Each structure stands twice: as C-alpha cells, then as structure tokens.
Structure 1
Amino acid sequence: MTGRLDPVIHPTHRLKICAMLDAGTTVEMSVVKEAVGLSASALSKQVAALVEAGYVRQERSGRDSRRIWLTLTSQGAKAYRGHVRALREIIADAAHQL
C-alpha cells in the first residue's frame, strides 16, 4: 500500500473540506459551510483541527474581517492525496478478493 490513511483527515466532514480545498485554490469558509452542511461552530471545530495539523491555512479578508478564506497547504495536499490513494487501494484490494 503506497497511500496512508490519515486520522486527521479521515472524519467525513474533514475529508469533504480537504476535497473542496484540493479542487479549488482558495475557498471562502461560507462556501465550504454550505457545501459540507455544518453549522458555523461545527465547521470551525473541523477547520481548527486541520489548521492545527498544518493542513489548512485560514486568512481573514482585509476589507471584511468576517470573511475567512481557507487554503490547503502543501503538507495538507500531500496528506489528503495519500489518504485518497489509501482509500482507493482498500477498495481495489477488496474488489480483487471477490
């Protein structure tokens, strides 16, 4: 197995957040909130875990401090892609065992 499941990314909401950020360069937190379907406080907790791990960077807009922008760091992108690779390998292995 070349990928590695990452316990920080593995929870469903964090996986969705990383997927969105990997697909886009920088995404406004309100857009992520709508797409993931979490309350502001629940999303904040999930993002905080990703920030603490060094996977996500958050920045406030200079003109409107209420707007928060999220970006997947290079470390986060590497961890996310490794996690996805590990999931794909698990699926492929299971399919080959049938």
Structure 2
Amino acid sequence: MTDLPELDPVIHAQARLRVTVALAGLRSADQITFPRLQQLLEMTAGNLSTHLRKLEDAEYVEITKAYEHRTPVTLVRLTSKGRAAFESYTKALQRLLDAGT
C-alpha cells in the first residue's frame, strides 16, 4: 500500500476550501471585495470573517482595508503562499483519489 498524502487542515475545512477555490480562480494580483466574496459563497459575514482569519493567520490570504469614494472597503486576495498551498492540496487530493482506485 502506498503512503497516503496528508491534506492541509487549514484548507481542508469545507468553508475554507470554498473560499480558497473562489480566490484561486482570480489572477494572482487580483482582489475581491468582502461583500462580493460573501455573496458568491452564500456565507454570513461572521462565518466568512472567521474562516478568512484562519486563512490569514496561515498567510494564505491577504486582507486589505481601503476606501472607495470615502466608503470603507475590505479586499481579499490569495497570497503566493496560499496559491502554492492550494496547488499542493489539490495534488495531494488527486494522489489520495488515485490511491483508492
């Protein structure tokens, strides 16, 4: 039997996986507003904030507070570390799936 790969526990939680997938779909320098991400994922603000904090603590996402026309806006983007972690996660998941066949 082959050694089964470990899945990154930061990404593996369902909500954080959904966040990471959504952010990985953007170009590396692109950001998305918090409300738009919330809408895409159909998550409450509190739930999304909690999962973003975990991803931010792992340095997988960067959160920027800015102003647009004097209105505060929160921008979210996947960091290069987060993108690399997601790529490793998907490769590990594929190896895990391949091991089951």
> TM-score, length-normalised on structure 2?
0.83
Q: How many residues of Structure 1 are paired with residues of Structure 2 in the alignment?
A: 93
Contiguous gaps of at least 5 residues in structure 2: none
For 1:48, which of 41, 46, 53 is the aligned residue?
Answer: 53
For 1:38, which of 35, 43, 47 is the aligned residue?
Answer: 43
The sequence identity of aligned pairs, in percent, is: 25
Q: Distance in 2 between matches of 1:62 and 1:29?
A: 13
> TM-score, length-normalised on structure 1?
0.86
For 1:13, which of 12, 15, 33 is the aligned residue?
Answer: 15
Q: Let me know the Cα RMSD of the aligned residues.
A: 1.5
Highest RCO, 1 vs 2 (Cα 8 Å, sep ≥ 6): 1
Q: Following superposition, which runs of at least 4 residues in structure 1 exceed 4 angstroms of deviation?
A: none
Q: Does 1:91 align with 2:91?
A: no
More strand by share: 2
